[in-house]
C-alpha cells in the first residue's frame, strides 16, 4: 500500500507540474486574436516536433494511467477494509467533503480528460474526425480547433464547470502527496497547505476562465 | 503463628541475603515449568513478561479486551523512586521511613525497605523500555513532590504515568508473546482456583465471549488482580475491577490480610446523581499547586470567586501547617469529610470542597500551570463542563486503593503453596495507608523484580513433582462448582437488577466502613449486608444465558463475591479497636480528632482465614527493629 | 430528560443485526452517556430482556476500552473525547441518538456494540517494544533525552488504543495508531537500535490485518481523544521510506 500510495503521490505531483506548463501555454489564448493564433500554433508545433517533449508526453500518459490504476486499486482495498458503512455518518464535522470524495472528484476529472482528448488530441494527433487546416505560417491551426470548440456554449460550460472538481482534487491531493511522501515538518506543511490552496485556485480559475474569454472574443 | 519468612541479617542486606540463598533452576528446566498469571496490569504484565524472559512458559489472563486496559493505566500522577536526583536529601532509608510512616507502622520493615531499595533500578528499567518520562531541557529526568513526603522523588509522564508504564509492560509482554513464551487470554475471567494436595495447580476461567468454562493447569499460579474498592460501588476504580479472584483464593485457603484498610482518595470529582457509576479521580499532583478550601460560613451559597479571601478556610493549611495541602491522603480525606459533615461543603449537593489554582496561576503564570496540569484541566472540563482556570475545581473524597489483600510472605506467596499475590491484590508494603505514587511502584517491583526472584524457590520443588493436568478430578470438581454457581444466579429470575443490589451494598459500605467507622455502625452494617446478600440471592434478575457474552452475568458474579468480602471488611474494621492510617475508628481518636493508634494491642497484621462462611483471625506480629513507631504527625 | 436511543443489536459475530429503538425517560443532564445506557439496561432487565452489550472499563477516558459511533461521530458529537466522557447535557431533550459499533473489517462485531480490536495488539506485537530484558538497564540518567524530544515522544505515546481513528476513517486505516507507536519509540534514543525493523514490521502487520490506507482526510486526529496529530502519519511514511530504501 505504501508503494501504491507513493506512486499516486509522485504521479500526482508530476501532473501538477504539467498543469502549470499547460496553463501557461493556454494563457496565450488570452492575447489578441492574430498574435494568439500565431504564437499558439507555433508553440504547439514546436512541442509536437521536439523529441524531448515526446518522451515527456509518454511519461505524462503513463502518469495518468498509473495514477488512475493505483487509485483504483487503493480504493478497492480501502472499500474492503470498510465492508460495512455507518447508517449515520457526520463526517463533515471532522473532515472536508473534498478529502472524503477524492475518488468521485477523480472520476469527474477523468471524464473531462476523455472529452478533452477527444476534442484535441484525437483530432490533431490521430487525425480523427474533421480535418485540421494550416495557418498562414504553415503550422497546424490548433488555435482554430480551440476557437471553434469554444463557440459552442455547452463545451464552454463543460470545460469551465469541470474545473471545480479539478481545483478541489488538486487542493487536497497536493498537500496530501507531500505527507504521503513523508514530509512532516509542521510549519512547512502549513505553508504547503496554503500554497496548495493558491495553486488549486489558480489552476481552476485559470483553466476555467479561458473558454469563456475565447467564447466572447 | 504466621511466618513471613523474613531473611536474616541487617535490614539493608536482607534482600541480598535472600537472593543468595534462594534456589535456582537451570534454563533447560525452566522450559518445563508453567506459570499462570491472572491480571495484566503493571504487576501481572511485568511478572508475565519477566518470567517468560527467564524461560518459563506463561499464560496470562485478563477480563478486558486487551492487556493494555488494566487499571494501572488510570494512575496519573507518578511513580516514586529514591534516586535523589534533586539533591534534596532523599535516600533509600528516607523513602523506606516515609512509606512506613505513611502506612502508620502497620507494614513489615523488610518488605518496605525492599520496595525503596528496588525503586531506583525500576526507574532505570522503565527508561530503558522507552517510557517518555518528563525531562529537563538538558535531558535529565524531572521529579515532583507528592503527598506525605518532603522531598521530590516522583517521576511522571505528563498526566499519564500509569498509562505509559503499562504500555511499556504490555509491549514487553507482547514481545514475549511473539517469542511464543507467553500465551495471552484476553476476555477471560478467572472463576476459581484449583488446589491439589494443598498446592495451587491451576484455574478455571470463563471465556467472556462464548461463556465457555475452561481449565488451565500450571505449576504455580500468580494473582495480580488489583484492588477491590468497587465494593463501595462508587469508587475511582474501573467498573470491571473486582475482588473475585482473590476472594475465590481466600475461600480455598489463602488468608486475607487487613481487608478493611481502604484508602479514600481526597481529590476525586463529587457524586452528582444516584445513577452515577464511578467517581473520576483527579491526580493528587494537583495538590502541589492547588489550595484546598471551603467557605468559613455554613451553607454559603455564593459562587466560589465571589467569596473573599478572608472568608475562605484553607483547612489543610490551618490544621497541618508543615505539610499543608500535601498532607497524606487519609488525612486530607478525613479533613474534607469533617468540613463537609459540619455543613461547609460546596456544590449543589454540598458534598465537595474547592481546589483552587488562582494563587498558583498568579505566581507561576498560566503557561506553567497549563504545562503541568493541562490535560487534567481538560479532563475536568469534559466531565463537568467547568473551566478550572477561571473558577476552582470541586473535589470530594472517593474510595480508591485497597491496602488490604491476600496475605503474603516475604516471597509474595499466599498461605496456599504455589499461589502468589502481587501488586494491589496483596497486603504487603503500604500498611494502613499508601503514599501517593507508591502504587505503580509496588505493582512494578512485585512483578518485575521480586516475584521472578522468589518463584524459583518454590518451582525448584515443583520440578521434581508430576506436572498437573486438567484431567485431574479436582479440576472437574471445581469446574462443576463454578457452573453450579452460574446456573444458580441465572435461575433466580427475581425482579431486581444487579446494580440495584450493588448500590445498596455501596451505600452501607460508604456509610459505615469508609473514612470513619464505629462499633455500632459496623455491627449494623454486617446485619444489613447479610440481609442485602440474602435478598440478592432471592430477588436478582440476570437476563440472557451463560453460553454467550453476558455482561449482566459478569456483574452479578462479581457482586456475589463483593457481599462476602464486604462482610469480612466490616468484621476486620470492627475487630481492630484502634485508629491507624486510613482505618479511623471514632472511638479511638485524640482530642484534636487525629487517629489514636494502639501499638500495645494492635501492632500486628490481621490475617483472616475463611472458615465455613465465618472468618478466623490469625496474627502476624509486626516487630520494628530499625525504627521506632511514632505518632504520625503532619502538623 | 427523555431521549430515543436507536441502538445496533446483534447477537453474535455470525448474526445479521439491526437497529432497535428504545425510548428512555427520566434521564438527567449530569448523567454520562454510558450511565444512560446502564439505566436503559436496568429497564431491559425489568422487562426480562437481554441487556445491550457495550464496552467500558475505567470510565475516565484513559483505558481506551469504550467506544461507539454516536449520531454519526466516533465517541459522539465532541472532538477529542472518549465515549465515557460524553455527558447527556450534550444532547437535547427529545433527541434521537443513533448508536452503532465501530465499523471496520479488521474490527469484527462480537455482540451488539462490542467489537474485536485484537488487530491492534497484533500490530503492537510486531515491534512496539524495546528488546531489552528486565534487569539489563543502565542508570536512568545515563540516557539523556532533551525536553523537546521527550515531549514529542510523549505526544505520540499518548494514544490509548481506543480505535476511534479506524472507526472514523472512511478507509478504516490504522495509520494514526501505528504511526503514534512507531514515532514514540523511534524518536527516543532507546528505540533507535531497532528503529528500521520496527517501522517495517509494524506497518507490514498493519496491512496484513486488513486496515485500509491513509488518504489524509484528517478525521482521525479530530476524533482522537488524545488529539494525536496526523503529522505522525507523514512522519511514519518518512521513517518507513528511509528504512525501506536507505537503511
Say yes or no for a CB contact (<8 Å) between C231 and A189: yes
Chains contacting chain B through 3 or more C-beta pairs under 8 A: C
Q: Which residue does chain A place closest to C96, by CA atoms?
A: A88
Q: Which residue does chain A place closest to C97, by CA atoms?
A: A88
Q: In which element (H, E) is residue B393 found? A: strand B393-402
* Gap between the Cα atoms of C63 and C82, Å rounded: 10
pLDDT of residue B632: 82
For chain A, give every domain's residue range.
2-216
Cα–Cα distance list, B87 to B137, B249, B306 (Å): 18, 45, 42
% of chain C residues with pLDDT over 90:
99
Cα–Cα distance list, B491 to B558, B616, C44, C50 (Å): 17, 32, 17, 14
Digit-coded pLDDT (tens) for B300-343: 889 999 999 999 999 999 999 988 998 888 899 999 999 999 99
Q: In which element (H, E) is residue B170 found? A: helix B161-178
Say yes or no for a CB contact (<8 Å) between B50 and C147: no
Cross-chain CB nearest to B128 (options C58, C161, C190): C190
Q: Which residue does chain C place closest to A79, by CA atoms?
A: C171
Question: Above 80 in pLDDT, residue C135?
Answer: yes
Cα–Cα distance list, A60 to A13, A67, A173, B37, B605 (Å): 11, 10, 17, 61, 82
Digit-coded pLDDT (tens) for A102-111: 999 999 999 9
Closest CA–CA distance from residue B38 to any residue of chain C (Å): 17
β-strands B291-295, B312-313 pairing:
antiparallel
List, in order, residues 6 or more apart from C233 with CB less than 8 Å away. Answer: A179, C175, C176, C179, C214, C216
**Mean pLDDT, all residues of chain B:** 95
* Gap between the Cα atoms of C187 and B306, Å rounded: 48
Q: Look up the pTM and report it.
A: 0.96
Q: Which residues pair with C101 in a beta bridge?
A: none
Say yes or no for a CB contact (<8 Å) between A81 and C19: no
Question: Above 80 in pLDDT, residue B147?
Answer: no
Q: Which residue has the cell 466531565?
A: B383
Backbone angles phi, psi at A170, to 5 degrees: -70, -40
| Neighboring chain C residues of B552 at a CB cutoff of 8 Å | 41, 45, 51
Say yes or no for a CB contact (<8 Å) between B499 and C42: yes
* Gap between the Cα atoms of C212 and A81, Å rounded: 5
Torsion over CA: A51, A57, A63, A68 (sign): negative
Closest CA–CA distance from residue B348 to any residue of chain C (Å): 12
Digit-coded pLDDT (tens) for B110-125: 999 999 999 999 999 9
Closest CA–CA distance from residue C245 to any residue of chain B (Å): 26
* Gap between the Cα atoms of C53 and C111, Å rounded: 6
Question: Above 90 in pLDDT, residue A75?
Answer: yes
Digit-coded pLDDT (tens) for A160-191: 999 999 999 999 999 999 999 999 999 999 99
Question: Above 80 in pLDDT, residue B430?
Answer: yes
Best of B140, B275, B453, B495 to disrupt the C interface by mutation (most C CBs within 10 Å)? B275
Is there a contact between B30 and B52 (Cβ–Cβ < 8 Å)?
no
Rounded to a whole number of angstroms, the distance between the first and last alpha carbons of chain B is 37
Tell me what ipTM this predicted complex has: 0.98
Helix, strand or coil, per DSSP, at residue B395: strand
Q: In which element (H, E) is residue B189 found? A: strand B188-196
Return the C-alpha cell found at C80: 477529542
Q: Is the CB of B171 inside 8 Å of chain C's CB atoms? A: yes
Question: Above 90 in pLDDT, residue B428?
Answer: no
Say yes or no for a CB contact (<8 Å) between A184 and C231: yes
Identify the CA nearest to B444 among candidates B169, B179, B136, B74: B169
Return the C-alpha cell found at C24: 428512555
* Gap between the Cα atoms of C179 and C189, Å rounded: 17
Kindly indicate whether the domain formed by A2-216 is annotated with CATH number 1.20.1300.10: yes
Digit-coded pLDDT (tens) for B251-302: 999 999 999 999 999 999 999 888 899 999 888 889 989 999 999 999 888 9
Closest CA–CA distance from residue B99 to any residue of chain C (Å): 23
What's the distance, CA B225 to chain centroid? 9
Among A41-45, B179-183, B614-618, which stretch is predicted with the lowest mean pLDDT?
A41-45
Identify the CA nearest to B226 among candidates B34, B448, B104, B404: B404
| Neighboring chain B residues of C55 at a CB cutoff of 8 Å | 65
DSSP state of B349: T
Say yes or no for a CB contact (<8 Å) between C72 and A88: yes
Question: Above 90 in pLDDT, residue B565?
Answer: yes
Candidate list B233, B291, B319, B329, residue with the active-site label: B329
Give the pLDDT mean for B554-560. Answer: 98
Question: Above 90 in pLDDT, residue A132?
Answer: no
pLDDT of residue B598: 97
Closest CA–CA distance from residue B124 to any residue of chain C (Å): 4
**Mean pLDDT, all residues of chain C:** 97
pLDDT band of B150, cuts 50, 70, 90: confident
* Gap between the Cα atoms of C157 and C228, Å rounded: 9
Q: Which residue does chain B place closest to C48, by CA atoms?
A: B543
Q: Which residue does chain C place closest to B541, by CA atoms?
A: C45
Residue B215 is among the residues annotated as catalytic for this protein: no
Identify the CA nearest to C53 among candidates B278, B66, B280, B187: B187
Closest CA–CA distance from residue B233 to any residue of chain C (Å): 13
Q: Which residue does chain A place closest to C216, by CA atoms?
A: A176
pLDDT band of B22, cuts 50, 70, 90: very high
Q: Is the CB of C171 inside 8 Å of chain A's CB atoms? A: yes
β-strands B393-402, B419-421 pairing:
unpaired
Identify the CA nearest to C185 among candidates A178, A185, B172, A176: B172
Among A81-90, A156-165, B234-243, B266-275, which stretch is predicted with the lowest mean pLDDT?
B266-275
What's the distance, CA B124 to chain centroid? 24
Helix, strand or coil, per DSSP, at residue C55: coil
| Neighboring chain B residues of C31 at a CB cutoff of 8 Å | 273, 275-276
Best of A6, A78, A99, A104 to disrupt the C interface by mutation (most C CBs within 10 Å)? A78
Digit-coded pLDDT (tens) for A8-20: 999 999 999 999 9
* Gap between the Cα atoms of B159 and B283, Å rounded: 8
Digit-coded pLDDT (tens) for A44-56: 999 888 999 999 9
* Gap between the Cα atoms of A97 and B476, Å rounded: 60
Question: Above 80 in pLDDT, residue B148?
Answer: no
Is there a contact between B421 and B406 (Cβ–Cβ < 8 Å)?
yes
Digit-coded pLDDT (tens) for C36-87: 999 999 999 999 999 999 999 999 999 999 999 999 999 999 999 999 999 9
pLDDT band of B592, cuts 50, 70, 90: confident
| Neighboring chain A residues of C172 at a CB cutoff of 8 Å | 78, 81-82
Is there a contact between B286 and B355 (Cβ–Cβ < 8 Å)?
yes
pLDDT of residue C97: 98
DSSP state of C141: G
| Neighboring chain A residues of C77 at a CB cutoff of 8 Å | 93
**Mean pLDDT, all residues of chain A:** 95
pLDDT of residue A130: 82
Q: In which element (H, E) is residue A99 found? A: helix A97-100
Is there a contact between B469 and B209 (Cβ–Cβ < 8 Å)?
no
Cross-chain CB nearest to C62 (options B73, B171, B495): B73
Cα–Cα distance list, B281 to A112, B272, B510, C247 (Å): 59, 14, 17, 46
Q: In which element (H, E) is residue B457 found? A: helix B451-462
Say yes or no for a CB contact (<8 Å) between C170 and A87: no
Q: Which residue has the cell 475471567?
A: B189
Amino acid at each position: 500500500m505504501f508503494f501504491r500510495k507513493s506512486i499516486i503521490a509522485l504521479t500526482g505531483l508530476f501532473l501538477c507540474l504539467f498543469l502549470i506548463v499547460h496553463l501557461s501555454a493556454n494563457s496565450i489564448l488570452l492575447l489578441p486574436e492574430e498574435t494568439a493564433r500565431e504564437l499558439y500554433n507555433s508553440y504547439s508545433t514546436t512541442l509536437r516536433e521536439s523529441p524531448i517533449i515526446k518522451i515527456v508526453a509518454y511519461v505524462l500518459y503513463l502518469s495518468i494511467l498509473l495514477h488512475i490504476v493505483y487509485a483504483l486499486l487503493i480504493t478497492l482495498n480501502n472499500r474492503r477494509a470498510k465492508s460495512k458503512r455507518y447508517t449515520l455518518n457526520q463526517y463533515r464535522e471532522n473532515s472536508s467533503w473534498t478529502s472524503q470524495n477524492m475518488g468521485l472528484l477523480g472520476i469527474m476529472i477523468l471524464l473531462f480528460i476523455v472529452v478533452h482528448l477527444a476534442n484535441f488530441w484525437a483530432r490533431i494527433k490521430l487525425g480523427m474526425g474533421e480535418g485540421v487546416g494550416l495557418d498562414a505560417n504553415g503550422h497546424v491551426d490548433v488555435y482554430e480547433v480551440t476557437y471553434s470548440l469554444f463557440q459552442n456554449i455547452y463545451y464552454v460550460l463543460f470545460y469551465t464547470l469541470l474545473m471545480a472538481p479539478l481545483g478541489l482534487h488538486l487542493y487536497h491531493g497536493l498537500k496530501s502527496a507531500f505527507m504521503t511522501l513523508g514530509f512532516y515538518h509542521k510549519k512547512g506543511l502549513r505553508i504547503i497547505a496554503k500554497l496548495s490552496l493558491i495553486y488549486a485556485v489558480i489552476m481552476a480559475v485559470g483553466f476555467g476562465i479561458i473558454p469563456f474569454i475565447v467564447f466572447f472574443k | 503463628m504466621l511466618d513471613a519468612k523474613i531473611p536474616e541479617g541487617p535490614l539493608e542486606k536482607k534482600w541480598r541475603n535472600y537472593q543468595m540463598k534462594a534456589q535456582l533452576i537451570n534454563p533447560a528446566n525452566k522450559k518445563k515449568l508453567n506459570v499462570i498469571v491472572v491480571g495484566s496490569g503493571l504487576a501481572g504484565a511485568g511478572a508475565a513478561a519477566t518470567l517468560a524472559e527467564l524461560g518459563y512458559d506463561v499464560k496470562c489472563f485478563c477480563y478486558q479486551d486487551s492487556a493494555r486496559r488494566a487499571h494501572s493505566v488510570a494512575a496519573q500522577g507518578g511513580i516514586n523512586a529514591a534516586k535523589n536526583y534533586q539533591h534534596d536529601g532523599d535516600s533509600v532509608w528516607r523513602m523506606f521511613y516515609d512509606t512506613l510512616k505513611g502506612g502508620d507502622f502497620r507494614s513489615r520493615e523488610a518488605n518496605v525497605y525492599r520496595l525503596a531499595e528496588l525503586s531506583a533500578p525500576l526507574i532505570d528499567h522503565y527508561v530503558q523500555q522507552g517510557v517518555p518520562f518528563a525531562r529537563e531541557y538538558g535531558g535529565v529526568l524531572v521529579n515532583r513532590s507528592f503527598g506525605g513526603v518532603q522531598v521530590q522523588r516522583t517521576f511522571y509522564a505528563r498526566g499519564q504515568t500509569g498509562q505509559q508504564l503499562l504500555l511499556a509492560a504490555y509491549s514487553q509482554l507482547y514481545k514475549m508473546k511473539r517469542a511464543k513464551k507467553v500465551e495471552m487470554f484476553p476476555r477471560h475471567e478467572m472463576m476459581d482456583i484449583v488446589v491439589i494436595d494443598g498446592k495451587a495447580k491451576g484455574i478455571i476461567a470463563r471465556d467472556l465471549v462464548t461463556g465457555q468454562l475452561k481449565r488451565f493447569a500450571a505449576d504455580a499460579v500468580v494473582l495480580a488482580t488489583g484492588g477491590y474498592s468497587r465494593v463501595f460501588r462508587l469508587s475511582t476504580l474501573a467498573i470491571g475491577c473486582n475482588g473475585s479472584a482473590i476472594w475465590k483464593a481466600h475461600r480455598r485457603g489463602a488468608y486475607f490480610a487487613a481487608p478493611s484498610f481502604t484508602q479514600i482518595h481526597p481529590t476525586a470529582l463529587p457524586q452528582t446523581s444516584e445513577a452515577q457509576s464511578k467517581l473520576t479521580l483527579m491526580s493528587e499532583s494537583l495538590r502541589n499547586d492547588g489550595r484546598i478550601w471551603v467557605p468559613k460560613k455554613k451553607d454559603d451559597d455564593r459562587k466560589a470567586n465571589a467569596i473573599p479571601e478572608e472568608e475562605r478556610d484553607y483547612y489543610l493549611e490551618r490544621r497541618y501547617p508543615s505539610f499543608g495541602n500535601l498532607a497524606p491522603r487519609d488525612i486530607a480525606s478525613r479533613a474534607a469529610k469533617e468540613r463537609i459533615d459540619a455543613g461547609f461543603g460546596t456544590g449543589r449537593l454540598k458534598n465537595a470542597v474547592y481546589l483552587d489554582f488562582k494563587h498558583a496561576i498568579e505566581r507561576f503564570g498560566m503557561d506553567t500551570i497549563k504545562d503541568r496540569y493541562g490535560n487534567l484541566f481538560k479532563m475536568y472540563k469534559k466531565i463537568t463542563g467547568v473551566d478550572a482556570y477561571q473558577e476552582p475545581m470541586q473535589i470530594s473524597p472517593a474510595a480508591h486503593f485497597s491496602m488490604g489483600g491476600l496475605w503474603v510472605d516475604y516471597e509474595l506467596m499466599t498461605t496456599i503453596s504455589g499461589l502468589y499475590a502481587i501488586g494491589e491484590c496483596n497486603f504487603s508494603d503500604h500498611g494502613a495507608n499508601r503514599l501517593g505514587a507508591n502504587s505503580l511502584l509496588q505493582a512494578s517491583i512485585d512483578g518485575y523484580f521480586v516475584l521472578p526472584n522468589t518463584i524459583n524457590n518454590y518451582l525448584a520443588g515443583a520440578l521434581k513433582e508430576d506436572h498437573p493436568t486438567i484431567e485431574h478430578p479436582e479440576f472437574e470438581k471445581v469446574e462443576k462448582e463454578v457452573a453450579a454457581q452460574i446456573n444458580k444466579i441465572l435461575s433466580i429470575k427475581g425482579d431486581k437488577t444487579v446494580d440495584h443490589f450493588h448500590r445498596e451494598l455501596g451505600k452501607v459500605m460508604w456509610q459505615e466502613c469508609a473514612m470513619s467507622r464505629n462499633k455500632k455502625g459496623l455491627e449494623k452494617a454486617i446485619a444489613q449486608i447479610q440481609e442485602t446478600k440474602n435478598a440478592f440471592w432471592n430477588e436478582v434478575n440476570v437476563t440472557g444465558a451463560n453460553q454467550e457474552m453476558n455482561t449482566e452475568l459478569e456483574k452479578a458474579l462479581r457482586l456475589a463475591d463483593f457481599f462476602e468480602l464486604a462482610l469480612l471488611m466490616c468484621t476486620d474494621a470492627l475487630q481492630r479497636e484502634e485508629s491507624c492510617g486510613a482505618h479511623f475508628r471514632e472511638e479511638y481518636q485524640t482530642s484534636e480528632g487525629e487517629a489514636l493508634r494502639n501499638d500495645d494491642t494492635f501492632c500486628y497484621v490481621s490475617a483472616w482465614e475463611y472458615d465455613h462462611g465465618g472468618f478466623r483471625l490469625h496474627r502476624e506480629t509486626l516487630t520494628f527493629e530499625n525504627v521506632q513507631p511514632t505518632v504520625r504527625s503532619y502538623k | 430528560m427523555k431521549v430515543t436511543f436507536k441502538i445496533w443489536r446483534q447477537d453474535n459475530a455470525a448474526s445479521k443485526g439491526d437497529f432497535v429503538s428504545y425510548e428512555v425517560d427520566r434521564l438527567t443532564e449530569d448523567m454520562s452517556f454510558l450511565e444512560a445506557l446502564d439505566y436503559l439496561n436496568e429497564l431491559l432487565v425489568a422487562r426480562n430482556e437481554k441487556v445491550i452489550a457495550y464496552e467500558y472499563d475505567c470510565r475516565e477516558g484513559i483505558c481506551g476500552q469504550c467506544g461507539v459511533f454516536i449520531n454519526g461521530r466516533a465517541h459522539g458529537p465532541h472532538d477529542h473525547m472518549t465515549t465515557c466522557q460524553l455527558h447527556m447535557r450534550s444532547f437535547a431533550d427529545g433527541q434521537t441518538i443513533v448508536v452503532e459499533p465501530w465499523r471496520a473489517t479488521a474490527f469484527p462485531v462480537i455482540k451488539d456494540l462490542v467489537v474485536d480490536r485484537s488487530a491492534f495488539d497484533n500490530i503492537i506485537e510486531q515491534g512496539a517494544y524495546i528488546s531489552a530484558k528486565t534487569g539489563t538497564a543502565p542508570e536512568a540518567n545515563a540516557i539523556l533525552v532533551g525536553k523537546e524530544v521527550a515531549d514529542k515522544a510523549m505526544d505520540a505515546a499518548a494514544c490509548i488504543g481506543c480505535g476511534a481513528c479506524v472507526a472514523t476513517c472512511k478507509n478504516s486505516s490504522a495509520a494514526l495508531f501505528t504511526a503514534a507507536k512507531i514515532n514514540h519509540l523511534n524518536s527516543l534514543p532507546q528505540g533507535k537500535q531497532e528503529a528500521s525493523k520496527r517501522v517495517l514490521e509494524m506497518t507490514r502487520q498493519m496491512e496484513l490485518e486488513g486496515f485500509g490506507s491513509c488518504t489524509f482526510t484528517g478525521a482521525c486526529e479530530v476524533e482522537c481523544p488524545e488529539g494525536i496529530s496526523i503529522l505522525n502519519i507523514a512522519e511514519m511514511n518518512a521513517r518507513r521510506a528511509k528504512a525501506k530504501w536507505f537503511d
